[in-house]
Amino acid sequence: MTFDVSAAPIASDTTDHAPPGRFGRPARDLPASLVVFLIAVPFSLGIALATGAPLTSGLVAAAVGGIVAGALGGTPLQVTGPSAALTVIIAGLIAQFGWQVTCAVTVGAGLLQFLLGTLRVARSALAVSPAVVHGMLAGVGLTIAIAQLHVVLGGSPQSAALANLIALPGQLSGPHLPALAVGGLAIALLFAWPRLGLLPGRAGRIGAVAARVPAALVAVAAATGLSIALGLRLARVELPTWEQHDFAALPSLAQLGAHWPVLLAAVLTVTAVAGVESLLSAVAVGRQAPGPIDLDRELRGQGLANLLTGLLGGLPVAGGAVRSTANIRAGAVSRWSAVLHGVWVLVAALAFGGGLRQIPLAALGALVLVVGVQMVSFAHIRRVHRHREFPAYLATVLGVVLLGVPLGVLLGGGVAALLALHRLTRAHVDVLAEPDGSWTVRTHGPLTFAVVPRLSRALADIPAGAQVTVSHDGSFLDHAAYEQLHTWRSGHQASGGRVSMLTELDEEVLDPDGTVRAGSSPGPHRCRAWTPWGGHHCIEPGADDPHGRLLDGVRGFQQHTAHLVRPELARLAREGQTPSQLFLTCADSRMVTSMITSSGPGDMFTVRNVGNLVPAPYEPGAADDSVAAAVQYAVEVLEVRSITVCGHSGCGAMKALLDGVHLNPGPPTPLGRWLRNGRGSLDRLRRAPAVFADRPLVSEVEQLGITNVVQQLDQLLAHPAVERRVAAGTLRLVGMYFDFADAQAYVLDPELRSFVPVSEQRVPTGPAPTESTDLAA
């Protein structure tokens, strides 16, 4: 859990941000809402066009989704609107049953979503395999892209992806050149506009400013302007007047009764797809801008929004990652941004209908085509391939494209289940002859009844009377495998052999009843990797030969752990490091960063020094290029997205600062020179000391420890690389403090201006920073 510290101050210092008071939130939510609004209008029209629904239905859905789901949902920074993932489903419903029946399906899906949210089952949707979810989105994206390619070429899409593929060669042989020119311009701008900031020199600086205007708005506006300037004859948006819009577009019961089995399946499909998309988007939003997220409330809010949009003749809605990410990057800090964006859509729909009717359909088709292509994420493909779930992903993609969303998801889910069953029965059994004449049987993976024949053949190759060690990696052991192991052990011991049955986690032994019992670890190194600490030192502090005991620990790693982590470390060796954050903490031997952050190899770029200090650059007599180089490398080369400064209780550096070690007379020692970097923390302690939100301070050392964290965050911002990224909103600064006695982590809360405990539940945090603070005087 991380907290942003640059969005609001921690102490009453003129160099910190002002706290978000009565007008603080609207001041940042208002411009963010306008940015999202400029994206939402063309996108909503494009989705309506792709489904074959009335174009006004897209605007209704955007307004209702923004206002209702924005106000009542459980993810404050998520923006709801027409869903690209539902395009294929809705297009099929409209083609088969008409618009009124489709609205009834939307209402039914909204009611079911609200019911599921009330029953608090939202988290169960996260049990769906990510490979299936990403495969569904990719399949829908390909289907959309293929269909909208016909629109860009000046034609009309068919009702199915396969039909569109068959008709595509004929469409390519005779495109409508004006439509192709307008669509091509829109596509070029959609891809090129966000990259203007990458141009060299002054052009790049100007491009970075221009790129803040949404690419979707620029592309549609430029394509529309070109078509008007050249007088091109093109199909344009046929936006009906609001007097023509059916605000009660519901069918009669007789229309529904004849097809209720198919419509019930449609309601379940829309509920599942929209619900899963919204919940996964909510989780993604929580990772980008950590804050309080209530998934059940989010599902209820989505349900009410779908209920209302269906009653008002709008498309079904879902939380969208594209709109939500734009909302966060634009600096939104509360749900008011999403609500206001819905208000602006409503105002635009009522007041600027004439301007919207000038938009060429080829421009909207190009917008939706690019959105469809971007739904096929190569990052997701690499991720599912790394986790060996690509078959499920591919099956889902092909199933959605060829069979439709419901059958495609079922096909992908079935393949994912088969993969899980395959892994459950997959185990390795290695029999090794040792140089001393003994034998080792090493098993890896779950030992189930399916592995028993292979296990039996491996054990049969061991000569009678041999000394054997059976080492299991601690995974699942079912009754059939247990019976086979212990039956063989009894027979081998009867022939004069000796058998030791261990696990690799902590020299544990398998009891005759099949349970795992912790045994004492022989040798001087008392710990094994990945086991709970038991109130003892792995290496005794007073050991006669600490180096020898350290090597014992290394030997233990090579014997028990290396083969388990070798594939992952080999991958990191091939791909290089791509950490998401820089973690700057103290060199104290008690600080185990991987433990308190639950991180593993490659997750964090860690810098440790005495007192977790960040020397301010250009400060005479105290600067240190080592820390500055690490910060610059992490920010500019590794492109980390957050920097955490973590202090801790009982810090010796803080005690030395209070004792004035850095002020001792005579030639300064290396420690004294280094501690000069903490003078700003002492000054802040006198002016504006930091505090805990839920408990009193234990000592002056503790108060200096948390105040030092705040000061070091200020000194971080004096580094140009950090200041640029924070100002651009792509880097988050986090303050943290760890209390050893309570094993409790505290994180800096920008709104409370104090350190709050990190609990097992999510706690509110500030938004991503969009501007920098000045260096404390």
DSSP secondary structure letters along 368-432? HHHHHHHTS-HHHHHHHHHTT-HHHHHHHHHHHHHH-HHHHHHHHHHHHHHHHHHHHT--EEEEE
- CB-based contacts of 378: which residues, under 8 Å, 6+ apart? none
Residue type, position 453, single letter: P
The answer, yes or no, to whether residue 609 has pLDDT greater than 50, is yes
What does each C-alpha distance from 80 to 204, 323, 340, 618 come to in angstroms? Answer: 33, 8, 12, 47
> pLDDT tier at 60 (50, 70, 90 boundaries)?
very high
Tens digits of per-residue pLDDT, 186-199? 899 988 888 887 78
| Residue 737 predicted with pLDDT over 80 | yes
CB hemisphere CA count around 519 (13 angstroms): 16
Query: Measured between alpha carbons, how far is 469 from 461 in angstroms, rounded to an integer?
Result: 14
**Which pLDDT band holds residue 112 (cuts at 50, 70, 90)?**
very high
| Closest residue by Cα to residue 458 from 440, 483, 474, 475 | 440
**Tokens at 366, concatenated:** 């190009």
> What residues contact 405, with CB distance under 8 A and at least 6 apart?
88, 89, 136, 139, 140, 269, 273
Residue 166 pLDDT: 86
Contact 371, 144 (CB under 8 A): yes
- Entry pTM: 0.55
In DSSP terms, 606 is beta-bridged to 583
List pLDDT tens digits, range 424-438.
777 788 888 888 888
Interatomic CA distance for residues 470 and 439, integer angstroms: 9
Distance CA 111, CA 120 (A): 14
- Read off the pLDDT band of 173 (50, 70, 90): confident
Coil vs helix vs strand at 168: helix
The top-scoring range by mean pLDDT among 85-99, 165-179, 635-649, 655-669 is: 635-649
* Cα gap 712→446, rounded to integer Å: 48
pLDDT tens digit sequence for 467-521 = 888 887 656 777 788 888 888 888 888 888 888 876 544 444 444 433 333 333 3
Q: Taking 60 as the threshold, does the pLDDT of residue 764 lie above it? A: no
Give the span between the Cα atoms of 774 and 646, in whole angstroms: 21
Q: If 0-12 CB within 10 Å is exposed, 13-18 middle and 19+ buried, where does residue 38 land?
A: buried
Instruction: Please name the residue ranges forming H helices in 119-176.
Output: 130-152, 161-173
- What percent of the chain has a predicted confidence (pLDDT) above 70? 83
Instruction: Name, in order, each residue with C-beta under 8 angstroms of 101's C-beta and a sequence gap of 6 or more.
Output: 93, 251, 255, 256, 259, 263
Question: 24, 767 in Cβ contact below 8 A?
Answer: no
Q: Give me the amino acid identity at 593.
A: T
Provide the pLDDT confidence category of residue 633 given band limits of 50, 70 and 90: very high
Question: Would you tell me how many other CB atoms lie within 10 Å of the CB of residue 556?
Answer: 20
The whole-number pLDDT of residue 297 equals 93
The answer to which of 100-104, 653-657, 730-734, 772-776 has the lowest mean pLDDT is: 772-776
Pairing between strand 732-739 and 642-648?
A: parallel
Beta strand 581-586 pairing with 516-517: unpaired
Query: How far apart are alpha carbons 477 and 448 in whole angstroms?
Result: 6
Strands of the sheet with 516-517, listed across from one edge: 428-433, 439-444, 467-472, 498-503, 509-510, 516-517
Among candidates 269, 257, 227, which has minimal Cα distance to 360? 227
What are the pLDDT digits (tens) for 677-698? 898 899 999 888 999 988 888 8
d(CA 187, CA 494): 77
For residues 775 and 769, give the distance between their C-alpha atoms in angstroms, rounded to a whole number. Answer: 16
pLDDT in tens, 337-351: 999 999 988 888 887
The pLDDT assigned to 247 comes to 66
The span from the CA of 234 to the CA of 445, in Å, is: 62
What H or E segment, with its residue span, contains residue 311?
Answer: helix 295-311
pLDDT digits (tens, 9 = 90+) for 61-70: 999 999 999 9
Closest residue by Cα to residue 314 from 545, 649, 66, 606: 66
| pLDDT greater than 90 at residue 302 | yes
Cα–Cα distance, 510 to 277 (Å, whole number):
45
**Is it the case that residue 708 has pLDDT exceeding 70?**
yes
